[in-house]
């Protein structure tokens, strides 16, 4: 507290640089933003602290380690608490109380308030953190399940919105045949903006409703599929961009462009889908692996490297190849941290990345491997089970969205082709009638009066194609948002939706020509 008195009595220019930095940190505390993934972060942060506390280390070291985990947004608050206690002379209970008043997130504010009361009462941090982790698991599960239920309802709403938008566009196209619409270009442009606004709003709502989580890690070491994706993307994406630019400069038809897009995106997308499936399988096997490994090391009193030798590799499922490599590297006497980093990288999973670091850090500090393995296994299992519930919703919506996209695009192209055929038919009827009558009477203006689309056909084609492109992009994004996972999955769904649009634009016109073929 003497430091506080010295600060009050000193001028701003007389303060030491260390004190100034502390003041800046406290001043910036209000600017620390709580992101959408704070719920996910706090689950792993509490898992980390609960695992580390099993080593019975000092209180300041627990907060120091928690504040150094930069991959978690919430770690900034623990760093502030540690700075207040270590540099300003605050007690940890008072520092937690002070931070709880500055945090805008309601959960964090209450959490730090409870921590302040616990620390002041003398309750061991280990017991408090373990209880908070269990509580956080229940809260996170409840929030995630509510998000999945909300996502399910909004996907139904998205389907209804897309059907309604398609009907609006279809009605406008049919109205052009029946009525002499003035300012057609203005109305069509406003309709395109309406479609764009509705799709954008629907995507935003679904993005907010979908549970936020990070599935693929961003480390240097990556899985085989991720390495192949990066290697292919350096070739296919620039080549695809150059090819499309060249074809656009030659005024190539849109359907050809839409069919060329999958040639450059689907190879990347297929690898991304394979990688996503393997990550799911590895994540589902990890809880049992880490719990078994911790139990072997804890009950027999041996190191993790020795426990790897006793571990039955066949029981770890799809993790067997990477676990075998981890065991070999550890048995060769290489640095354990580098071996685990290689193991984490080859799995490609952010869940395994976080949980493995928690497990290894806590064991290195001297914690009980059996208890740490149980703590980490419980948290990772919660995430795995919740993802399964989300997959039930996303898998059904994915099939519906792909089918619905084909139906919507096919309907628009079908109506446009009918308009084109009937317009040409009426024009030929008018020309035939005028040739028989020897003048432009009666039927001569029929093609432009009853079916007033002769001059508007090029614009109607551009209008329809613009709507098709918007629907293609929107349906690509919505499936990715609902499923979650890595961003490379956009290449798969983008290629599929683009290919469906191109196929519809190629096969539907001949069908319409065969169905509506008239002899005049």
Q: What is the pLDDT of residues 168-188, one digit of tens each?
A: 888 888 887 777 667 778 888
Q: What is the pLDDT of residues 334-393, one digit of tens each?
A: 888 888 999 999 999 999 999 999 999 898 888 888 999 999 999 999 999 999 999 999
Q: What is the pLDDT of residues 256-289, one digit of tens each?
A: 999 999 999 999 999 999 999 999 999 999 999 9
pLDDT band at 474 (very low <50, low <70, confident <90, very high): very high
In the predicted model, what is the mean pLDDT of the chain?
A: 83
What is the average pLDDT across 483-498? 92
Number of H helices, E strands in the chain: 19, 0
Q: What is the pLDDT of residues 143-169, one digit of tens each?
A: 899 989 999 999 999 999 999 999 988
Per-residue pLDDT, 15: 40
Partnered with residue 349 across adjacent β-strands are 216
Count Cβ atoms below 10 Å from residue 307 Cβ, excluding itself.
Answer: 22
Q: Number of C-alpha atoms within 13 angstroms, CB side, residue 131?
A: 10
Per-residue pLDDT, 37: 57
Residue 136 sits at the vertex; the CA angle it makes with 55 and 360, to the nearest 5 degrees, is: 30
% of the chain beyond a pLDDT of 70: 85
Lowest mean pLDDT among 241-255, 302-316, 319-333: 302-316
Residue 16 clears pLDDT 50, i.e. is over it = no
Residue 437 clears pLDDT 80, i.e. is over it = no
CB-based contact 106:71 (threshold 8 Å): no
Q: What is the pLDDT of residues 79-95, one digit of tens each?
A: 888 888 888 888 888 88
- Name the helix (H) or strand (E) containing 170: helix 125-178
Per-residue pLDDT, 429: 65
Q: Which two tokens stand for residue 417?
A: 């082709």
Q: What is the pLDDT of residues 397-436, one digit of tens each?
A: 999 999 999 999 999 999 888 888 777 676 666 666 565 5
Per-residue pLDDT, 457: 78
Q: What is the pLDDT of residues 204-239, one digit of tens each?
A: 999 988 888 888 888 888 889 999 999 999 999 999
Q: Number of C-alpha atoms within 13 angstroms, CB side, residue 80?
A: 26
Strands (E), 138-267: none
Per-residue pLDDT, 476: 94
């Amino acid at each position: 507290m003497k430091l506080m008195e010295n600060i009050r009595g000193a001028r701003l220019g007389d303060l030491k640089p260390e004190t100034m930095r502390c003041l800046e940190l406290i001043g910036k505390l209000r600017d620390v933003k709580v992101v959408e993934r704070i719920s996910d972060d706090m689950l792993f942060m509490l898992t980390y602290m609960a695992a580390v506390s099993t080593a019975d280390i000092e209180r300041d070291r627990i907060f120091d380690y928690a504040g150094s985990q930069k991959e978690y947004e919430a770690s900034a608050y623990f760093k502030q608490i540690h700075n207040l206690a270590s540099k300003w002379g605050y007690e940890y209970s008072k520092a937690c109380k002070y931070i709880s008043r500055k945090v805008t997130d309601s959960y964090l504010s209450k959490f730090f308030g409870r921590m302040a009361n616990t620390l002041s009462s003398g309750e061991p941090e280990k017991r408090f953190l373990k209880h908070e982790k269990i509580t956080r698991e229940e809260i996170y599960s409840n929030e995630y399940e509510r998000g999945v239920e909300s996502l399910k309802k909004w996907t139904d709403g998205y389907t209804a919105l897309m059907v309604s938008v398609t009907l609006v566009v279809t009605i406008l196209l049919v109205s052009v045949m029946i009525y002499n619409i003035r300012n057609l270009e203005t109305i069509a442009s406003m309709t395109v903006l309406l479609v764009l606004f509705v799709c954008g709003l629907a995507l935003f709502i679904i993005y907010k409703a979908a549970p936020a989580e990070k599935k693929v890690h961003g480390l240097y070491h990556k899985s085989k599929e991720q390495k192949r994706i990066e290697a292919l993307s350096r070739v296919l994406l620039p080549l695809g961009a150059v090819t499309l630019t060249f074809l656009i400069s030659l005024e190539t038809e849109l359907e050809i462009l839409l069919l060329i897009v999958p040639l450059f995106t689907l190879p990347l997308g297929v690898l991304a889908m394979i990688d996503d499936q393997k990550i799911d399988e590895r994540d589902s096997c990890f809880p049992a692996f880490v719990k078994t490994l911790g139990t072997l090391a804890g009950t027999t009193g041996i190191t993790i490297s020795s426990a790897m030798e006793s571990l039955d590799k066949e029981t770890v499922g799809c993790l067997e190849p990477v676990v075998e490599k981890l065991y070999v590297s550890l048995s060769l006497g290489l640095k354990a941290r580098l071996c685990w980093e290689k193991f984490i990288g080859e799995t490609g999973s952010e869940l395994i990345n976080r949980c493995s670091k928690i497990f290894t850090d806590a064991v290195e500090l001297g914690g009980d491997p059996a208890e740490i393995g149980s703590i980490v296994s419980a948290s990772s299992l919660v995430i795995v089970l919740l993802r399964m519930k989300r997959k039930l919703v996303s898998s059904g919506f994915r099939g519906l969205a792909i089918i619905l996209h084909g139906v919507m695009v096919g309907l628009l192209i079908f109506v446009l082709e009918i308009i084109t055929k009937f317009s040409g038919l009426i024009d030929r009827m008018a020309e035939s009638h005028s040739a028989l009558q020897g003048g432009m009477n009666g039927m001569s203006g029929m093609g432009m009066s009853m079916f007033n689309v002769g001059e508007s056909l090029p614009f109607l084609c551009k209008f329809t194609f613009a709507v098709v492109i918007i629907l293609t992009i929107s349906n690509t994004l919505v499936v990715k948002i609902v499923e979650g996972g890595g961003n490379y999955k956009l290449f798969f769904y983008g290629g599929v939706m683009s290919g469906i649009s191109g196929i519809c634009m190629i096969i539907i016109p001949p069908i319409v020509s065969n169905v509506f073929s008239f002899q005049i």
